[in-house]
Chains A and B, each alone.
Chain A
Amino acid sequence: MRFPFKLRNGKGKMPGFGLSMGLSLSYLSFLILIPISSLVVYAAKMPLKDYFGIILDERVVAAFKISFFSAIAAALVNFVFGFIIAWVLARYDFVGKRIVDACVDLPFAVPTAVAGISLATVFSANGLLGKILLPFGISLGYSTAGIVLALIFIGLPFVVRTVQPIIEESDAALEEAAASLGANWFQIFVKVIFPAVLPALVTGATMAFARGLGEYGSVIFISSNMPYVSEIVPLLIIKKLMQFDYLGASAIGVTMLIIAFIMMFVTNILQKYMLKGRQS
Chain B
Amino acid sequence: MIKTGIVREPRRVKALLLFTAGVFLSVFIILPMVTIFREALKAGVAGYLKSFVDPGVAFSIRLSLLTVLICVPVNTFFGVVLAWLVTKYEFPGKKLLITVVEVPFSVSPVIAGLLFIFLFGSFGWFGTWLTDHNIKIVFAVPGIVLATLFVSFPFVARELTPLMRELGKDDEEAALTLGASGLQIFWKVTLPNIKWGLLYGIILTNARAMGEFGAVSVVSGLVRGVTTTMPLYIDILYGEYMFKSAFAVASLLTFLAVVTIIVKAVLEYAIAVQRKSGEVQI
Taking beta carbons and an 8 Å cutoff, which residues of A are in contact with B? 1-3, 7, 9-12, 14-17, 19-21, 23-24, 27-28, 31-36, 38-39, 41-42, 81, 84-85, 87-92, 94, 98, 100-115, 117-119, 121-122, 127-129, 149, 152-153, 156, 168-170, 172-173, 175-176, 178-180, 183-186, 188-189, 210, 213-217, 221, 233-235, 237-238, 241, 246, 249-250, 253, 256-257, 260-261, 263-264, 268
Instruction: From B2-10, B43-51, B128-136, give the one contacting chain A.
Output: B2-10
Is A102 a contact partner of B107 (Cβ separation < 8 A)?
no
B270 in the interface (beta carbon within 8 A) = no
Cα separation A178 to B6 with both chains bound (whole Å): 10
Is A35 a contact partner of B116 (Cβ separation < 8 A)?
yes
Please judge, given known A-B contacts A28-B97, A260-B107, whether A35 and B118 are in contact too, CB under 8 Å. yes
Can you list 10 A-B contacts with CB-CB less than 8 angstroms, sorted by A residue number?
A14-B182, A16-B182, A17-B89, A24-B78, A38-B119, A109-B257, A129-B27, A168-B1, A168-B2, A233-B108
Beta-carbon contacts under 8 Å, B25-58 to A:
25, 27-36, 38-39
Chain B residue at minimal CB-CB distance from A12? B176
Chain A: minimal CB distance from B41 (Å): 13
Is A110 a contact partner of B21 (Cβ separation < 8 A)?
no
Q: Give the most central of B27, B106, B243: most A CB within 10 Å.
A: B106
Is B118 a contact partner of A114 (Cβ separation < 8 A)?
no
Say which size band chain B's interface belongs to: 35 or more
Is B176 a contact partner of A117 (Cβ separation < 8 A)?
no
Q: Apart from A106-B261, A114-B254, list 12 A-B contacts with CB within 8 A.
A: A10-B174, A14-B89, A28-B100, A81-B24, A85-B25, A103-B25, A105-B264, A106-B257, A108-B204, A114-B250, A234-B111, A264-B103
Chain A binding surface, main DSSP class: helix
Please judge, given known A-B contacts A28-B100, A105-B261, A114-B36, whether A238 and B110 are in contact too, CB under 8 Å. yes
B114 in the interface (beta carbon within 8 A) = yes
> Which residue of the partner chain, among B7, B99, B181, contacts A183 with CB atoms under 8 Å?
B7
Chain A: minimal CB distance from B30 (Å): 7
Is A39 a contact partner of B81 (Cβ separation < 8 A)?
no
Beta-carbon contacts under 8 Å, B238-253 to A:
238, 243, 246-247, 250, 253
Beta-carbon contacts under 8 Å, B108-140 to A:
108-111, 114-119, 121, 123-125
Is B111 a contact partner of A257 (Cβ separation < 8 A)?
yes
> Which residue of the partner chain, among B9, B182, B260, contacts A189 with CB atoms under 8 Å?
B9
Chain B contacts of A186 at CB under 8 A?
9
Is A185 a contact partner of B7 (Cβ separation < 8 A)?
yes
Chain B: minimal CB distance from A35 (Å): 4
Is B110 a contact partner of A84 (Cβ separation < 8 A)?
no
What total of A-B pairs shows CB separation below 8 Å? 317
Is A14 a contact partner of B173 (Cβ separation < 8 A)?
yes
Chain A contacts of B173 at CB under 8 A?
7, 10-12, 14
Chain A: minimal CB distance from B193 (Å): 8
> Which residue of the partner chain, among B30, B114, B210, B262, contacts A249 with CB atoms under 8 Å?
B114
Cα separation A14 to B189 with both chains bound (whole Å): 13
Chain A residue at minimal CB-CB distance from B149? A31
Cα separation A65 to B245 with both chains bound (whole Å): 35
Chain B residue at minimal CB-CB distance from A111? B211
Cα separation A215 to B109 with both chains bound (whole Å): 7
Chain B contacts of A214 at CB under 8 A?
107-111
Chain B residue at minimal CB-CB distance from A88? B21
Is A234 a contact partner of B108 (Cβ separation < 8 A)?
yes
Chain A: minimal CB distance from B258 (Å): 8
Please judge, given known A-B contacts A32-B100, A39-B115, A42-B118, whether A114 and B253 are in contact too, CB under 8 Å. yes
Chain B contacts of A237 at CB under 8 A?
110-111, 114
Please judge, given known A-B contacts A14-B182, A175-B5, whether A35 and B25 are in contact too, CB under 8 Å. no
Please judge, given known A-B contacts A84-B17, A176-B5, A249-B114, whether A1 and B171 are in contact too, CB under 8 Å. yes
> Which residue of the partner chain, among A9, A100, A105, A169, contacts B177 with CB atoms under 8 Å?
A9
Chain B residue at minimal CB-CB distance from A170? B2
> Which residue of the partner chain, among B25, B100, B234, contacts A114 with CB atoms under 8 Å?
B234
> Which residue of the partner chain, among B7, B25, B114, B257, contacts A179 with CB atoms under 8 Å?
B7
Cα separation A88 to B16 with both chains bound (whole Å): 10
Chain A: minimal CB distance from B154 (Å): 10
Chain B: minimal CB distance from A163 (Å): 13
Cα separation A112 to B215 with both chains bound (whole Å): 11
Chain A: minimal CB distance from B233 (Å): 9
Cα separation A129 to B232 with both chains bound (whole Å): 26
Please judge, given known A-B contacts A38-B125, A88-B17, A176-B6, whether A115 and B32 are in contact too, CB under 8 Å. yes
> Which residue of the partner chain, among A100, A108, A121, A185, contacts B9 with CB atoms under 8 Å?
A185
Is A85 a contact partner of B21 (Cβ separation < 8 A)?
yes
Is A216 a contact partner of B108 (Cβ separation < 8 A)?
yes
> Which residue of the partner chain, among B85, B101, B262, contacts A102 with CB atoms under 8 Å?
B262
